[in-house]
Amino acid sequence: MTTATASPLGPASAPEPAPRRGDDTRARIERAALELFVAEGLAETSIKDIARAAGVSQGALYVHYPSKEALARALFERGFAFAAADLEAAAAAARDVPGQLAGMVRALYERFDADWPLFGFCFRVRHRHAGAVPGGPGNPYTVFRRVIAEAQAAGRIPPRDPDLMAALVTGAIMQPVDIRILTGAFAGPLADRAPEVAAACARLLA
């Protein structure tokens, strides 16, 4: 019989339930799809390719996703949501613009370092799927724009077009990601580059 285990951070807690078989199958499908989308391209990858790589039948794959497009869109929306949540937390943890930018850039780069296939996939297909993501919570660009607009309203940075400033900042942040994916430049964790990139973004806004 499984018993609860004591935690060094608090009282004993019940064990987490084991993942269900369907959840495990879905996870294998998603990981196989991500790796193929990044290595081969979205258009070049077929449902048959994904099923084979995941070790499932095409019928089992269709139980979870009705099409390759639905699978790709779900992966993109999840990656965008992860990034937006990281950015929101980082922005809330700092009181000034340089501190917010430092935390936000590090959060994005740490996300890339932790799961570059998902981050890289989202980056590559953003023009195809970003239109399906609302311009509110869950959209990383919206988080940057809000932080910039609030700082402008408080007089902490000059009052310029917040859409343009957000576009310039996100462009500066994502360009190293693009170069890393395309050429393999910037050896080591990308998060190590976060302070320099954040400082450049702060200078841009100031």
Please report whether residue 12 resides in a domain.
no
Please report whether residue 1 resides in a domain.
no
How many Cα atoms are found within 13 Å in the side-chain-facing hemisphere of 168?
Answer: 14
Give the domain CATH number at 36: 1.10.10.60
103 φ/ψ angles, rounded to the nearest 5 degrees: -70, -40
Please report whether residue 10 resides in a domain.
no
pLDDT tens track for 177-198: 989 888 888 889 999 999 999 9
- Output 84 or 17, whichever has higher pLDDT: 84
Please report whether residue 14 resides in a domain.
no
Contact in structure between 106 and 194 (CB atoms under 8 Å)? yes
Same domain for 50 and 148? no
Domain limits for position 55: 20-66
pLDDT tens track for 16-67: 334 455 578 999 999 999 999 988 888 899 999 999 999 999 999 999 999 9
Please report whether residue 79 resides in a domain.
yes
Note the pTM of the prediction, 2 decimals.
Answer: 0.78
Please report whether residue 8 resides in a domain.
no
Angle between helices 97-114 and 140-153 (to 10 degrees): 170
pLDDT tens track for 135-156: 555 688 899 999 999 999 999 9
Distance from C-alpha of 121 to C-alpha of 42, rounded to nearest angstrom: 9
Q: Residue 10 — pLDDT band, cuts 50, 70, 90?
A: very low
pLDDT at 113: 93
